[in-house]
Amino acid sequence: MEEKLNIKAVLEYYIMSGVDEILGDEPFGVGLNEKKNIQEPQIIKKAPVILTSSPVSDSDRQATTELAQATLSACQNAHEICAAAQTLEELRAAVEKFDGCALKLTASHTVFGDGNPHARLVLVGEAPGADEDRIGRPFVGRSGHLLDKMMNAVGMDRNSYFITNVLPWRPPGNRTPTSAEIAVCLPFLKRQIELVDPEYILILGGSAANALLDNQEPISRLRGRWLEYEKADGKKIPVLASFHPAYLLRNAAQKARAWSDLLRLKKTMQ
Ligand code: URA
């Protein structure tokens, strides 16, 4: 009986924390966008795991090699698909059929880019959240509403820009995407940028900035200054990075900085 009550408490804790999938034996961390003010249940501390210099087993080595090969072949496949897609609609259909990323297995929808396909500006976020996964469009949840308000305030709406993400599938529980998932999906983002061919890019958040600009700089250092993204044909597009709206929802004090980034973007675009 006591055991049953504990299981119930743990499940309630997961639900309150925003966990909506159970995929493995170990629980995932609470989603970036959905932190709630909740009391944590008592945590039973385990003895620390002491890493010894025991050699990696052959089966571990084999599994790692197989994973690396699968990632490589999924990346190659993604590149081929992108090269073949001559329009956004062809690319959308190809991404929807693509089976090289396991995130698709847990997602409800493929969330492809949305908005004006001939826009001068492309906005890039990290990955769909729960609302985007349910509806199948980018930035339609709480952070999307904040973004809409901020963009409206500088005179832009979804008819004036194209908006997309590094990943077209939601990572379960909004966990941070792995570098393999980013590597496999990045060609889709880059091809969307090529097909829209914008004059400017606005990147939302550090994770998207690091993926697209291929660096490891924190967003606090990247934001607010003009950077460059180089397309496959060598053409450079001016890029402004700013805070992710989900971060602004948790850190209202940073809204002034994000606002000044948008004003800078608007001024340059004019
Ligand atoms: N956060 C993102 O980065 N993208 C979305 O589409 C929604 C939330």
pLDDT-based confidence at 46, cuts 50/70/90? low
Q: Is the CB of 143 under 6 A from ligand 1?
A: yes
What six digits make up the tokens of 56? 């990696």
Domain range summary for the chain, segments of one domain joined by +? 69-269
pLDDT-based confidence at 5, cuts 50/70/90? very low
Q: Is the CB of 127 under 6 A from ligand 1?
A: yes
User: What are the distances in angstroms from CA 247 to CA 125, 127, 220, 252?
Assistant: 12, 14, 12, 8
Task: Determine contact, residues 137/182, Cβ cutoff 8 Å.
Answer: no
- The closest-lying atom of ligand 1 relative to the alpha carbon of residue 208 is 3
- Residue located via tokens 């003009």: 226
Taking 3-state DSSP, the helix, strand and coil percentages for the chain, each rounded to the nearest 5, stand at 50, 10, 40
pLDDT of residue 40: 45
Task: Determine contact, residues 257/221, Cβ cutoff 8 Å.
Answer: no
* CATH architecture, domain defined by 69-269: 3-Layer(aba) Sandwich (3.40)
Which of 268, 24, 4, 31 minimizes the C-alpha distance to 143? 31
Rounded Cα distance, 115 and 128, in Å = 15
- The closest-lying atom of ligand 1 relative to the alpha carbon of residue 131 is 7
> pLDDT tens digits for 198-241?
999 999 999 999 999 999 999 999 999 999 999 999 999 999 99
